[in-house]
Amino acid sequence: MTKVLFVVSELAPLIKTGGLADVAGALPTALAEYGDEVRTLLPGYRAVMGKLGKTKVIEKYDDLFGGPAKLLACKMAGLDLLIIDAPHLYDRDGGIYLDTTGTDWADNPQRFAALSYVGAMIAETGAGGWTPDVVHGHDWQAGLTPEYLRARAVQVPFVFTIHNIAFHGNTDAGKLVALKLDGDRFTRDHFEFWGQISALKAGLMGATKITTVSRTYAEELLTPEFGIGMDGVLRDRQSDLVGIVNGIDEDIWNPATDPYITPYTTPAKKAANKKALREIFGLGPSDGPLCVLVSRLTEQKGIDLLLAALPELLSRGGQLALLGSGDPKLEVALLAAAAEHENVSVKIGYDEALSHQMMAGGDVILVPSRFEPCGLTQLYGLRYGTLPLVALTGGLADTVINASPAALASGVATGIQFFPITTQALGNAFARLADLYNDPKTWKTMQRNAMKQDVGWKASAADYHAIYTSLTETHQ
């Protein structure tokens, strides 16, 4: 058994802004099947503190980056949690990372340095008698952990997972003292990045092993196009970089037991959910496929490409039901498209129940992202027999079998991929989609293939377990 401390900034079902929370919430349970014992360190945001049941104070800090704090232990949703109760850092209106105006919290460097710092202290002295064999940090918010481990002379292995390299956690070099960092290590070989402190670079340079969330994304990160300034660092650490595709919680995302939908086990039973979804979105009958999209509305997610290619989908009888929020300009453009076209319906915001209903009722899930480290929505789509139409990038390339002539002839296709990631290519993909949808036999075969795919955590948890085991054996 390996004892693993997760250091993470969000965790489903307590607090979530994206896929990181889903991974952090599901992976510990999957690892338990291999005998690993995970405890998860999480900031005590106001929304988190309000959901906790019985807790136990196991540590007190007189001054944790500007104020007193406590470390709480509790169990919730089958997870062993360690919560940093630091009101001066986390008890506030607004979001995890952004204030009520949508701006980064000015003290984010201190807020997440505190997360990393407490993680290092737990590795050194334990938490309520429990001491980890491995510390596993997730994204830049945990990136300073190896610096604090080194400062405390703690030899525990540190695994660092990149969920999205676009966010670096950079801050002014003048905060070296405030962040309790060693100024002698403010160099290009450690955590200096173009004159700034980079939490992400600290994690990459200090990690014993680096993982990311798909094999293709691991390869993409080595290029300037996708590495976003860190490609050189990752090329230097390439021998320690491995891609492990994410999974989903197959109990939560299960069309046979989903409480939000009319349950089904075969594609033929999707019809009732499709009818219900059209009613929810105010869409009438159509001869073409009902496409759904659940996403942050950003250019990264290819929403502008979708808007430009939408006429091709609509001209072939297709429909679009969209749920999401993000860039105000894209929100306005999508609402305008919905007002103009009767076969387009848009809901701004997020609704967990509705997202399940969309997966069950849609024919196709759209993921036209310009880059996508792993992606989870295409996995939900596969699980529900809602065929993914995706850009050929990152985890989308690794998890969807394109309906190429060879794949169709072999009867193994599970969706449609398009490349290059342009409006023209997406429009061509919509044309291919219409042709496939109008071939009922082929379409049903693809749906059945999709629902048979292994989209859970078992295989990926085995890969993480192997990494932990290797690291602990090496450090004995």
Amino acid at 366: L
For 438, how many CA atoms within 13 A lie in the half-sphere containing its CB?
12
Separation CA 164–CA 112 (nearest Å): 17
Encode burial over 55-89: b for 16+ CB neighbours within 10 A, e otherwise: beebbebeebbeeebbbbbeebeebbbbbbbbebb
CA dihedral 305, 162, 93, 89 (to 10 degrees): -160
Separation CA 62–CA 415 (nearest Å): 55
Pairing relationship of beta strands 69-76 and 56-61 according to DSSP bridges: antiparallel
Taking phi over 0 as left and psi of -120 to 50 as alpha, with beta for the rest, 45 belongs to beta
Closest CA to 84 of 72, 94, 92: 72
Separation CA 390–CA 429 (nearest Å): 9
**201 known ligand binder:** no
CA 22 to chain CA centroid, Å, is 7
ω before 13 within 30° of 0 (cis)?
yes
The torsion angles phi and psi of 354, rounded to 5 degrees, stand at: -65, -35
Closest CA to 165 of 187, 184, 138, 183: 138
List C-alpha distances in Å: 67 to 64, 88, 90, 111, 125: 5, 6, 11, 11, 21
β-partners of residue 319 are 290
Separation CA 152–CA 147 (nearest Å): 9
Separation CA 368–CA 293 (nearest Å): 10
Contact 231, 217 (CB under 8 A): no
Residues flagged as binding site for ADP-alpha-D-glucose: 16
Residues flagged as binding site: 16
